[in-house]
Amino acid sequence: MTDTELIKAARRVLADLTPIPADCGELCGRACCVDEGSELDSSERGMLLFPGEARLASRTGFLHVSRISPSDCGPSLGFAECRRRCIRHSRPLSCRIFPLVCYVRPEHRTLSRPPFEIILDPRARGLCPLYVGKGENITKEFRNGVRRAYAILFRSPRQVRFACRLSAVLDDYLEFTNDQTEL
């Protein structure tokens, strides 16, 4: 399967799953969806796209897709910014799994099919009201769905490399938050 086909399959797994049995965007005013900007910087906000997802995201009509070359994430990555109200069935994978993320421990990052954990995304701290406790307010069905979606994605070496590079970025956040609890 191509990366794009794997993305579609992972999206199907997560089709109607949400972190809680309600619209969590009502709790925070859609903080993860709306770019209010920051007085500290004027840069745009958005979501990283998985390998093979840029073409899908560019067809949505509500996302602006660009390329970024972050020095800490390896080669150029797709990046999506919302330009209008979200069409839920066309959301990027990063949006669908938030506030969870796949984490590959440093000692496993050289393996071709490393074991992975699903953790609360430390970048969500201070943004997402679901980032409390150990994530016990996030439904088991959602956590399991995210785990199944990553199992599908990990059939691709590009997806594994992406997850390992992102995990390396998360290391700094996790050290700061001191929270690596697997869900």
Q: What is the pLDDT along the chain (183 residues), one digit of tens a residue?
A: 899 999 999 999 998 898 877 667 677 766 666 655 443 344 556 788 999 998 888 888 888 888 765 555 555 678 888 877 777 788 899 989 989 999 999 999 999 999 999 999 988 887 777 777 777 788 999 999 999 999 999 999 999 999 999 999 999 888 876 655 555
pLDDT at 36: 52
Residue of 170, 166, 157 whose CA lies nearest to 52: 157
What proportions of the chain, in percent to the nearest 5, are helix, strand and coil?
A: 40, 15, 50
CB 170 within 8 A of CB 122: yes
* pLDDT at res. 154: 97
Residues in the chain: 183
How many Cβ atoms from other residues are within 10 Å of residue 166's Cβ?
Answer: 21
Q: What is the pLDDT of residue 39?
A: 39
**Between β-strands 100-103 and 47-48, what pairing exists: parallel, antiparallel or unpaired?**
unpaired
